[in-house]
Structure 1
Amino acid sequence: MPPEQETNQAQQLIALVVRQNTAGIEEPVERILAFLQEAGYRVVFEADTAAYLAMPAIEAMDVNAIGEQADLVIVMGGDGTMLGIARQLAKYDVALIGINLGRLGFITDIPVERMLPALGEILQGKATAEKRSLLEGRVMRDGQMMFCGVAVNDVVVARGSGAGMAELRVTVDGQFMYNQRSDGLIVSTPTGSTAYALSAGGPLLHPSLQGIVLVPIAPHALSNRPIAVPDTSEIVVTIVSGRDISVNFDMQTFASLQHGDEIVISRSPNTITFLHPEGWSYYNTLREKLHWHEYPSYDGKLK
C-alpha cells in the first residue's frame, strides 16, 4: 500500500454496530476488525455493541459521536438492527453498509460469507450509493405536539390486540380522503414497501420513487385499497373511535393515542445513504428475497 494512501486511510473512522444476542458473532467481528485495522482504518464500536462484545481494546462511541465523526458505519445484523441505527443517524451525513446476519436482508444485503471481499470493493470506491427517504410523524393533541418520531420503513396506526376495529379519518394535503374502519393503517416509504406494507397487500415501490404508500390493515370495506401519494404530501390520520390505539415507528418506538388525536405524517428533511458493492441491483435483491427464481441465463433460457 502506498504511504500516502495509508496515511489517508488512517485518518478515516469506521464505526461498527453489531446485533446483540447473536451466537458466534465474535468470530466475524474479529475478522472485520483485523481486515479494517490492517488496511489502516481507525475502528470504533457503537456503545451498546462495545458493552455486549466486551472487547476493551476497541474504543467505544455513542451514536451522536459516531454521527459527528465517523466516515462510514458498518452494521452487522438484520434489517431491524439497520433500521434502529439508521433512524438515529438520519440527521448526520454518514453512509451505512449492511452485513446480513438476519433472515431477509432487504437493506442489510451483504452475505456474511462475502463480507470481506464486498467491503474491500466498497472501500476502494467500487460502490453503488443509494439514498433512501424517511418519514416524520407528529402526534398532535389539542394543538400540542405530544410525540415526534422518525421512520425508515413505516408509521403504523393500529388497534390493540384485544380491541375492536378502529375508525380513522385520513386527509392528504388538507383534502378529505376517507373514514376507514379497519385494524389500522400503514404509511410507508418505498423502503418499507417490502416490509409490513407488503404483507398487508401493498405494492412494491422502487426506492428511487418519490412516493408514500397508504395500506389499510384488514379494512372492513374491501374497496379500501392501498394508494400511493407524492412524498411532498402531508398526511393527517385522526383517531375517530376505537380502543387501545397506538402509533409506532418502524415497530421500535410507540405512543398511545386518544380519540381526536392527529398523527401528522410527512417526508423527513433527512435521508440515509446505503453503500452496496458495485453491480448491486434492487431487482436482484427482490428476486432473491422474494424467491422470484425465473430469470434468463446466459444462453437466454429461463431457469
Structure 2
Amino acid sequence: MPKAGIIYNDAKPVASRSAEELKQKLADSGWEVYVATGSGGLLGYSSPEKPMCHTPIDSLAPPGFDDEMTFAVVLGGDGTVLSAFRQVACHDIPLLTVNTGHMGFLTEAYLQQLPELIEQVLTGDYKIESRTMLTVQVFRDETLVWEALCLNEMVIHREPLTSMCHFEIEVGHHAPVDIAADGVILSTPTGSTAYSLSAGGPVITPEVPVLQLVPICPHSLASRALVFSDREPVTIFSANTHPLMMVVDGNAGCYVLPEDRMRVTRSEHMAHFIRIQPPEFFRVLREKLGWGLPHIAKPTSVELP
C-alpha cells in the first residue's frame, strides 16, 4: 500500500478540518496516511535559563514519515512550509504546499484548488522542483551544541535591544572580513525574497547555486550584500563581549556566546516542492510582491502629428 503524509497548522481550524477531510479521501483511494502537525519542526527558542534547545537534524521526522513515503501535503502558511521541510528533508519526501495562511509565498496553490490538485498528484501528473537548504551549526570548544536545517535564512543579532555588533566572517578559503552592524543575514536563493530582501539584499532566482550575506544596518558605506558560491562554507565569529541570538527561518534559535563558532554549509538534503504547473518565479514575484507591475498607464497606440 502506498504511503502519503499530511502536515498541517493545528492553530488554524480550517487547516485542521481540511487535514481530516484529506486523510479520509486518501484512505478511500487506497493510501496509507500519516498525519502530523508542523509544530514538530519548530525547534524552540532559547532563553537565558535554557540557552540551547538542541534537536538533531535527523530526529525531526514524525512517526511514519520515512523513505517509503511517496509525498506529503502541507496545509498552512509559509511558516508551516518551512517547518515541514525540516521534518521531511532527511527522507527526501516531496511536499505539495497548500496555502491556508496569508501571503503564502512558498505555497503552490490555495485551499480551494486542493481537490483537483490531489487528483493530479495521485496519478503522478506533477514535477519536482528541488531547492537548496543549509546546515547551520554552533560549536563550543569544538563540540557541536546546536544545529538546524534552514530553507530561508540564518540571522545573528543582539537582543533584546538593537545595537552595533561586530562579526568576523570567513567565506571558504578567502581572507576573513570584519563587519560592524546590527546583525547579519545569510540566506539561500529561496530566502532572498524574505528577510534579506527587506534588509536591502537582491532577489536571486531559485536555480542559481549561490548564497548571500547581508549586513543589517551596517556602520559602513562599504558593507553591502555579498553573493558567492553555495559550495563555500561560511564561518562566523562573534567579536562581542555579550551573547547574541541566532534565529533560523524565523522559528528556531539559540544563544551564541562570545567564544562560540557558527558554521553554515550547503546541506546534503534538499527541499523538494511538488509543482503542478511549471515553476514561474517571476509570476510569483509579481503576484505576491508586486514586482514588475506597471506604475503608469501605457499608451496602446501613438498618434503622429
TM-score w.r.t. structure 1 length?
Answer: 0.84
- 5 Å-filtered alignment, 1:94-113, equals 94-113=93-112
The structural deviation recorded for 1:247 is 1.4
Query: What's the CA shift string for 1:113-155, capped at 9, x where partnerless?
Result: 1111122223322212100111112212233322222211111
Alignment of 1:22 onto 2:12: yes
Determine the structure 2 residue equivalent to 1:287: 286
Determine the structure 1 residue equivalent to 2:120: 121
AA in 1 matched with 2:177: Y
- Bigger drift between 182-191 and 162-171 goes to 162-171
CA contact (8 A) 1:97 1:275 kept: yes
Alignment of 1:42 onto 2:32: yes
Determine the structure 1 residue equivalent to 2:204: 205
- Bigger drift between 141-150 and 175-184 goes to 141-150
Alignment of 1:243 onto 2:242: yes
- 5 Å-filtered alignment, 1:213-224, equals 213-224=212-223
Structure-1 separation of matches of 2:282 and 2:124: 22
Change (3 A) 1:98 1:263: same
CA contact (8 A) 1:167 1:242 kept: no
The structural deviation recorded for 1:29 is 3.0
Q: SS of 1:241's equivalent?
A: coil
AA in 1 matched with 2:29: A
Change (3 A) 1:111 1:242: farther
Query: What's the CA shift string for 1:256-299, capped at 9, x where partnerless?
Result: 1121322111101111211011334222211111123648xxxx
Query: What's the CA shift string for 1:183-212, capped at 9, x where partnerless?
Result: 111111111111111111111111111111
AA in 1 matched with 2:208: L
- 5 Å-filtered alignment, 1:222-233, equals 222-233=221-232
Structure-1 separation of matches of 2:174 and 2:67: 40
The structural deviation recorded for 1:165 is 1.3
CA contact (8 A) 1:128 1:280 kept: no
The structural deviation recorded for 1:48 is 7.2
- Bigger drift between 122-131 and 78-87 goes to 122-131
Change (3 A) 1:108 1:173: same
Percentage identity across aligned positions?
Answer: 27
Determine the structure 1 residue equivalent to 2:153: 154
CA contact (8 A) 1:166 1:242 kept: no
Alignment of 1:131 onto 2:130: yes
CA contact (8 A) 2:9 2:37 kept: no
Determine the structure 1 residue equivalent to 2:170: 171
AA in 2 matched with 1:221: S
Query: What's the CA shift string for 1:69-110, capped at 9, x where partnerless?
Result: 421110000111111121121111211110101112122221
In the alignment of these two chains, the number of paired residues is 276
Structure-1 separation of matches of 2:151 and 2:97: 15
Determine the structure 2 residue equivalent to 1:269: 268
| Runs (5+) with no aligned partner, structure 1 | 1-10, 50-61, 296-300
Structure-1 separation of matches of 2:244 and 2:284: 34
The structural deviation recorded for 1:242 is 5.2
Structure-1 separation of matches of 2:142 and 2:38: 37
- Bigger drift between 177-186 and 207-216 goes to 177-186
TM-score w.r.t. structure 2 length?
Answer: 0.83
AA in 2 matched with 1:140: F
The structural deviation recorded for 1:30 is 4.1
Structure-1 separation of matches of 2:147 and 2:275: 31
Determine the structure 1 residue equivalent to 2:255: 256
CA contact (8 A) 1:164 1:243 kept: no
Change (3 A) 1:33 1:138: closer
- Bigger drift between 260-269 and 24-33 goes to 24-33
- Bigger drift between 173-182 and 28-37 goes to 28-37
The structural deviation recorded for 1:27 is 4.0
Determine the structure 1 residue equivalent to 2:81: 82
Q: SS of 1:88's equivalent?
A: helix
Structure-2 separation of matches of 1:264 and 1:27: 41
Change (3 A) 1:260 1:75: same
AA in 2 matched with 1:101: T
Structure 1 consecutive aligned stretches of length 4 or more whose deviation exceeds 4 Å: none
- Bigger drift between 113-122 and 80-89 goes to 113-122
| Runs (5+) with no aligned partner, structure 2 | 40-60, 295-299, 301-305
CA contact (8 A) 1:170 1:178 kept: yes
